[in-house]
Chain A
Amino acid sequence: MPEAGRVPVLSVENLTKHFGAVTALDNIGFEIAEGEILAVVGESGSGKSTLARTVLRLLDASGGAVRYRGRNLLDLPREEMRRMRQHLQMIFQDPYASLHPRRRVHELISEPWRVHPQVLEKARWGERVRELLGQVGLPESYASYYPARLSGGERQRVAIARALALRPDFLILDEPVSALDVSIQAQVIKLLMGLQESFGFTCMFISHDLALVRLIADRVIVMYRGQIVEQGETERIFTAPAHDYTRLLLESSPSLEGEAVP
């Protein structure tokens, strides 16, 4: 929860995004406190992925503000925004699409240092790549591999290593395990949460998987057709949902418990 008197890591105010006549984000507002994991849940078309992309200025907002530690990212000149990106990283759903197939793993992980050369002198890149591979549970020998040689779970580990290369303090995870095999999802979740505990980065976790959200999030935002219909502490959302749509989502999620869908 945001503490009184402290500036939140991220503060989104009246954020709006139109695609032509379609309102993809309608007056979105929320805050994320230091070290917090905020989950954004909703179905396709709810605007949750558009929200992630608009927050990081991968898409242009139509209106509103996105304050990162008090500074409105939407007002920053291009060059300043470029420098700011070292603190704000994103991990995408599809590790097959997000890694360049012609780059070796060590090149993929060092890519961010090419863009932000002030972060790490080139002589130390190799050493830091090995360290990052260790942190994401991959052997050092993988540094020379191309992505084609890696499984889906291993690719996502490389994407995580690359996102951590700049020691970001805010990370957006957009369905980071939904493209992975079920037996691999728990591995990657435990890895991400373990890293979050070690490094303390603040996190926005976008997911349609409510069972997973319940395990990892401090707070939850429920989106429907571009609007936030409900937000609150995770346990409260799951045990005492206030909005009809939240209730529908919870009732619709298949459970491992015996009762068949009514």
Chain B
Amino acid sequence: MMMQPHAPLLTVSGLRVRFGATQAVRGIDLAIAPGESVAVLGESGSGKSVTGKAIMGLIDPPGRVEGSVTFGAEELVGRSETDLAAVRGPGIAMVFQDSLDALNPVYSVGDQIMEILAVRLGWPRRQARAEAIRLMEQVGIKEAGKRLGDYPHQFSGGMRQRICIAMAIALKPKLLIADEPTTALDVTVQAGILKLINRLRAETGMALLFVTHDLAVARQVADTLVVMYAGRIVERGNIDEIFRRPAHPYTQALLTSNPGAVRHWSELRPIAGNPPDKAARFSGCAFAPRCPRAEARCSAEPPDLRRVLPNRDSRCHFAEEIAHA
């Protein structure tokens, strides 16, 4: 486990999530310090989104969650919906990819923000209304007072995502989990949302867990990078240091296959093969079948996630060699 300068705000240990034979998350240990910004990077099937949902207690049966998620001193795994509801909002809040799914189409956005304040804090309507306007202004919605009565469909995708963020921060959470919040948006709109998230973190000091498949997006918001592959963390550390010197062949390959990293297409170094099936079982390293560095040992002996450099963990037998290449 990585050393944290403060007592962790969130600690995840031995987290596993199964859906029947599918092992979406195969043992995750993770700690987030107050105010820290962590990007969880992975491709589809890596378990990155399921990890975020499991932390929020959003895995429904027949999905099964094992392990421990503690927020402050409270264990969240196995708790009742009522107990979890007390943590959601003032403790942990979440923003999803699809803002249209997250908002109720038949209530005005103002009513949806005010409802949170009225139900959770018991605020009278007048006070909730003033705060809803302030929140909408805080997330960059112009003429918030006039737009309070508008319905979700009257806003663009980017503006709807801003409203979802306003709802998420309404109870001043200590941790915001954002699951691909800009993936469905145009690049100019995405830039605005990333900027907003960075500004809100600076203003409120909340920690951020940002789930994404996009290295360049992760770079814009995170201090710490967690790279997931086949339901496990394969590398973890400071994002700038990882970009300079990756210590896992998968991270290294993601960087050299990224169009932003080269000048001409012929310089791209693609990763061979396909991501593994979620039902697959591995006797050794899950990345070995695609790994240019793999040896016989890799398919026989599963590597542990271990400290390989100061402030850096990697799940590779040859991490030191990769990092110093």
A interface, CB within 8 angstroms of B? 43-44, 151, 153-154, 181-187, 189-190, 193, 208-212, 214-216, 248-249, 251-258, 260-262
A253 to B182, CA, bound (A): 12
Interface SS, B side: helix
Bitwise, B254-274 to A at CB < 8 A (1) or not (0) is 110111111111101111101
A189 to B95, CA, bound (A): 32
Interface SS, A side: helix
Please, could you name 19 A-B residue pairs with CB atoms under 8 Å apart, sorted by A?
A: A181-B44, A181-B274, A182-B213, A183-B253, A183-B257, A184-B271, A186-B257, A186-B269, A190-B270, A193-B265, A254-B219, A255-B219, A255-B260, A256-B219, A256-B243, A256-B255, A257-B219, A260-B219, A261-B195
Q: Which of chain A's residues have a CB closer than 8 A to the CB of B214?
A: 182, 254
- B163-210: which residues lie under 8 A (CB-CB) from chain A? 186-191, 194-195, 198
B43 within 8 A of A: yes
Which listed residue (A182, A248, A255) contacts B43, Cβ 8 A? Answer: A182
Which listed residue (B213, B259, B265) contacts A209, Cβ 8 A? Answer: B259
A182 to B227, CA, bound (A): 13
A183 to B213, CA, bound (A): 10
B258: nearest residue on chain A (CB-CB)? A256
Q: Which of chain A's residues have a CB closer than 8 A to the CB of B264?
A: 215
Q: Which of chain A's residues have a CB closer than 8 A to the CB of B4?
A: none
Q: Which of chain A's residues have a CB closer than 8 A to the CB of B43?
A: 181-183
Known: A190-B266, A254-B194. 20 other contacts (CB 8 A): A154-B274, A182-B43, A182-B254, A182-B257, A183-B43, A183-B253, A183-B254, A184-B270, A186-B258, A186-B269, A187-B271, A187-B272, A189-B259, A190-B270, A211-B216, A252-B191, A253-B187, A255-B216, A258-B240, A260-B221
Measured CB to CB, the closest approach of chain B to A122, in angstroms, equals 33
B275 within 8 A of A: yes
B55 within 8 A of A: no
Contacts A215-B268, A260-B221, A261-B195: A254 and B275 contacting too (C-beta < 8 A)?
A: no
Q: Is the CB of B187 within 8 A of A151?
A: no
Q: Is the CB of B262 within 8 A of A254?
A: no
A89 to B119, CA, bound (A): 57
Which listed residue (B191, B219, B255, B257) contacts A185, Cβ 8 A? Answer: B257
**Most B CB within 10 A of own CB, among A181, A216, A249:** A181
B233 within 8 A of A: no
Q: Which of chain B's residues have a CB closer than 8 A to the CB of A256?
A: 215-216, 219, 243, 255, 258, 260-261
A9 to B216, CA, bound (A): 36
Which listed residue (A182, A253, A260) contacts B198, Cβ 8 A? Answer: A260
Measured CB to CB, the closest approach of chain A to B218, in angstroms, equals 9
Measured CB to CB, the closest approach of chain A to B237, in angstroms, equals 15
Which listed residue (B188, B257, B263, B265) contacts A43, Cβ 8 A? Answer: B188
- B235-294: which residues lie under 8 A (CB-CB) from chain A? 240, 243, 253-255, 257-266, 268-272, 274-275, 290
Q: Is the CB of A262 within 8 A of B195?
A: yes
Q: Which of chain B's residues have a CB closer than 8 A to the CB of A193?
A: 265-266
B220 within 8 A of A: yes
Measured CB to CB, the closest approach of chain A to B30, in angstroms, equals 21
Q: Is the CB of A153 within 8 A of B220?
A: no
Q: Which of chain B's residues have a CB closer than 8 A to the CB of A208?
A: 186-187
Contacts A183-B253, A190-B265, A211-B260: A254 and B270 contacting too (C-beta < 8 A)?
A: no
